[in-house]
Structure formats: structure tokens, C-alpha cells
């Protein structure tokens, strides 16, 4: 065993468990960023509902997406506004 | 007072859930508890053979739930260890035969009869897993020091948290020699990745194969390190949570110890 360790050092190989740990951490990270297929659809429906209370939007041209990089991930939501609703500012007649 | 229900689960198959369920059941019974161990793997039962009770099955869990028999008729009493009972799974039914509400009903009955009910959860996160965790108060997650097992354990831990269960971890099949040489994840590595409390460490032990071959309880083998580790886990599960966790180590001779001290200086 000691001989193997020495051999490993001489051949300049790292411990395989360090590789395991690194791979594991990366796998867990990407696993957690994965989203259920219908989650984005449901989110879009809910967002449209909320935003429509304040703005008139083009429901067809909404884009919702998740952008991933190695370090982080971002939720990108893009919608053109057609008009702002004014009902909030109008006092009850 | 009502007994408690503990699920033994892992996500990945083949990491030792069934052996651990059987051994913890036996250990708890020997500590004087009334214990039921339930095989939750409908269609692929195995706890019966591990416990050596396979030729005494008359009724099974599905029969109880369908009202074909009483719990007492289906529960097989272990003749070697007092107060230890097995409720076998059905081998012929579909795994979707049982629903979470059936398990809640069954475990509520078991709580009245037994101090501890251990649920041996099937691998995976499908129906059998859902049934098992729906009824559990506590959970023990088993993993081996491998990337695949730890990853699956992480998923399972997340699903248990979603059920408001805070699980405890068993790291099984540790090979101290490989941990020392850096070729196996140490339990510290596993705990760091999963950030969860340990309840025990079990060393790789050939005795487990022998015990399973013969269907004899592992904890009755006095020279089994894994068996001893299981007994200590059983104590931690029941009333002695602070019992120190022993780190499996290489049995070293004096000269080897001296040698390793010397080589560490390099």
C-alpha cells in the first residue's frame, strides 16, 4: 500500500478520490439547475397573468428561458409592452 | 405511547439497504424493543431471504392492506431473536397496488403494536419510495463512498426534506485501506458534499456475504465489524443519539504504524 502511494507520487498522479469529489460536486450542481419540463410553461402562464394586471402585453411573443453558465444560471423573461393599464390610477367613480 | 416509523432508503440500488434494515431490526429487538421490519419492495421482495424467513411466508403486506388477513397473521416472528417480526412484500402484485394512504393506515396500526417499525424502501424514487416516505417519522439514508451513490443520496435527501423529514446518513462499505491511499471518498468527503448528520459508518465486511448466504442475522456474528457498527447505529436510533461514531481504520501493527509516521514526514 505504501509502495503504491509512493509510486503514485513518483508518477505525479493525484488521488482518484479528489477527482471523484470534484465530479460529484459538479454533478450535484448541474442536477439542481435542471428544471422540470412543465415548470417553465407554468411559470410563463403565471407571469402573464400577473403582468397583464398592469400592462397590456403581446402574449404570443413572450420569451422565457434559462441561461446557464458554469458559475450561475439566470432566468430571462422578455416581453414587448403594448400599453400600460391605467385602472390602478383611476379613482372609483 | 405510539411507536416510531423509520424508513431506510438510498435512491441507488445495491448499497445495502436491505442488509441494514434487517440488521438494525435485529439489533433493536435485542435491545429489548418490539420491532417490525417491513419489506416495501412490492414485486421484488428480498428482505425475507436476508432475514432467513423466506419459507415461513403465508400472507404479505398487500394481503393486510386488502383486508385478506390481520397484521398478526402476516407478521413472521423471528425464532432466534425475540420481539423481531417481518412483514414481507408481495411477490406477485404490481408495485402500484399500494398507495401512500394505505401505508399511513398500516403504520398507524403498527405504531400501536411495535416500538419501532423499519421500512425497507426499494431503490428508485417511484411508488415504493413514495409509499415508504409518506408513512415515516424518521429516515436513514444509506450510501457507499461512490459518486453514483452519493449523487442519488443527495436527490433522496432533497425529497425527504420536502416531506419535512430530516434524514441521518449511513456511509456503508468503507474500505479504510483505500480511503487512506486516497482512492476512496472518505466519510468526511461524503458528509461535506451532502451536508447532513451522520448516524454511522460501516466498513466493508466479508461476513455480510456469509450472513446473507445463510440467512442468519449479521449481528449474531461476534467477529463482524459491520454487525458491531449496526448495533451501535441501533443504539443511536433509539435513545443514545450521542454514542460516538467510530471511524473504520486499518488494523495496524506496531512496525507499520512506525513506518507510516516516518513516511508522513517526507
Q: pTM (2 decimals)?
A: 0.82
Considering CB atoms only, which of A6, A16, A25 is closest to B183? A16
Q: Does residue A68 belong to the interface with chain B, where contact is any CB pair within 8 Å?
A: no
- Torsion of Cα atoms, B6 then B69 then B212 then B128, to 10°: -50
- Cα separation, B167 vs B54, in Å, equals 30
> Over the stretch A35-85, which tens digit does the pLDDT of each residue have?
777 888 888 889 888 988 888 888 888 888 878 776 777 888 888 888 887
Q: Does residue B147 belong to the interface with chain A, where contact is any CB pair within 8 Å?
A: yes
Q: Which residue of chain A has the CA closest to B191?
A: A21
Q: Which of residues 20-59 of A touch B (CB under 8 A)?
A: 20-21, 23-25, 27-28, 31
Residue tagged 458554469 (cell numbers): A70
pLDDT at B52: 96
Contacting residues for B160 by C-beta, under 8 A, at least 6 apart: B9, B133, B139, B141, B166, B167
Residue A7 Cα, gap to closest chain B Cα (Å): 11
Judge contact between B62 and B98, C-beta under 8 A: yes
Q: Does residue B161 belong to the interface with chain A, where contact is any CB pair within 8 Å?
A: no
ipTM of the prediction: 0.79
Q: Which domain holds residue B148?
A: 4-264
pLDDT in tens, chain B (266 residues): 799 999 999 999 999 999 999 999 999 999 999 999 999 999 999 999 999 999 999 999 999 999 999 999 999 999 999 999 999 999 998 888 999 999 999 999 999 999 999 999 999 999 999 999 999 999 999 999 999 999 999 999 999 999 999 999 999 999 999 999 999 999 999 999 999 999 999 999 999 999 999 999 999 988 899 999 999 999 999 989 999 998 888 776 666 666 656 655 44
Count up the domains in chain B and report the number.
Answer: 1
pLDDT at A64: 84
Residue A29 Cα, gap to closest chain B Cα (Å): 10
Judge contact between B200 and B228, C-beta under 8 A: no
Judge contact between B200 and B141, C-beta under 8 A: no
Q: Which residue of chain A has the CA closest to B158?
A: A32
Helix (H) and strand (E) counts for chain B?
Answer: 12, 8
Contacting residues for B58 by C-beta, under 8 A, at least 6 apart: B69, B73, B74
Size of interface A-B (CB pairs under 8 A): 49
pLDDT at B257: 61
- CA B252 to chain CA centroid, nearest Å: 30
Longest C-alpha distance within chain B, in Å? Answer: 70
pLDDT at A14: 82
pLDDT at B136: 97
Residue B181 Cα, gap to closest chain A Cα (Å): 6
**What CATH number is given to the structural domain containing B190?**
3.40.50.300
Judge contact between B146 and B171, C-beta under 8 A: no
Judge contact between B84 and B50, C-beta under 8 A: no
Phi, psi of B237, rounded to the nearest 5 degrees = -70, -30
**Per-residue pLDDT at A5 exceeds 80:** no
Phi, psi of B67, rounded to the nearest 5 degrees = 80, 15
Which residue from B106, B183, B185 is spatially nearest to B145, judged by alpha carbons? B185
Q: Does residue B143 belong to the interface with chain A, where contact is any CB pair within 8 Å?
A: no
CB contact under 8 A, A24 and B193: yes
- Supply the Cα-derived Rg of chain A in whole angstroms: 25
Query: If residue B133 lies in a helix (H) or strand (E), which one and from where to where?
Result: helix B127-134
Amino acid at each position: 500500500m505504501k509502495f503504491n502511494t509512493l509510486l503514485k507520487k513518483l508518477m505525479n498522479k493525484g488521488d482518484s478520490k479528489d477527482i471523484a469529489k470534484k465530479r460529484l460536486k459538479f454533478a450535484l450542481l448541474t442536477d439542481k439547475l435542471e428544471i422540470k419540463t412543465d415548470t417553465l410553461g407554468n411559470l410563463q402562464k403565471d407571469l402573464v397573468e400577473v403582468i397583464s394586471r398592469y400592462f397590456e402585453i403581446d402574449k404570443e411573443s413572450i420569451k422565457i428561458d434559462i441561461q446557464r453558465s458554469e458559475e450561475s444560471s439566470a432566468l430571462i423573461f422578455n416581453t414587448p409592452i403594448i400599453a400600460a393599464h391605467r385602472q390602478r390610477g383611476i379613482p372609483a367613480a | 405511547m405510539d411507536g416510531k416509523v423509520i424508513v431506510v432508503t438510498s435512491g441507488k440500488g445495491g448499497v445495502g439497504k436491505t442488509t441494514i434494515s434487517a440488521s438494525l431490526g435485529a439489533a433493536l429487538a435485542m435491545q429489548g424493543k418490539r420491532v417490525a421490519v417491513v419489506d416495501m419492495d412490492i414485486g421484488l421482495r428480498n428482505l425475507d431471504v436476508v432475514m432467513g424467513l423466506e419459507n415461513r411466508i403465508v400472507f404479505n403486506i398487500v394481503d393486510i392492506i386488502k383486508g385478506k388477513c390481520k397484521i398478526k397473521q402476516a407478521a413472521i416472528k423471528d425464532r432466534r431473536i425475540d420481539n423481531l417480526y417481518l412483514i414481507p412484500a408481495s411477490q406477485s402484485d404490481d408495485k402500484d397496488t399500494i398507495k401512500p394512504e394505505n401505508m399511513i393506515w398500516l403504520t398507524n396500526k403498527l405504531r400501536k403494536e411495535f416500538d419501532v417499525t423499519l421500512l425497507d424502501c426499494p431503490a428508485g424514487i417511484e411508488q415504493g419510495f413514495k409509499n415508504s416516505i409518506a408513512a415515516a417519522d424518521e429516515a436513514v439514508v444509506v450510501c457507499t463512498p461512490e459518486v453514483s451513490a452519493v449523487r442519488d443520496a443527495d436527490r433522496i435527501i432533497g425529497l425527504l426534506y420536502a416531506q419535512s423529514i430530516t434524514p441521518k446518513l449511513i456511509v456503508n462499505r468503507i474500505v479504510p485501506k483505500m480511503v487512506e491511499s486516497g482512492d476512496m471518498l472518505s466519510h468526511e468527503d461524503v458528509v461535506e458534499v451532502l451536508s447532513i448528520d451522520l448516524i454511522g459508518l460501516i466498513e466493508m465486511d466479508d461476513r455480510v456475504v456469509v450472513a446473507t448466504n445463510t440467512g442468519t442475522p449479521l449481528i449474531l456474528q461476534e467477529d463482524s465489524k459491520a454487525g458491531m457498527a449496526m448495533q451501535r447505529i441501533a443504539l443511536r436510533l433509539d435513545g443514545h443519539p450521542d454514542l460516538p461514531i467510530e471511524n473504520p481504520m486499518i488494523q495496524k501493527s506496531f512496525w507499520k504504524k512506525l513506518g507510516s509516521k516516518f513516511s508522513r514526514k517526507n
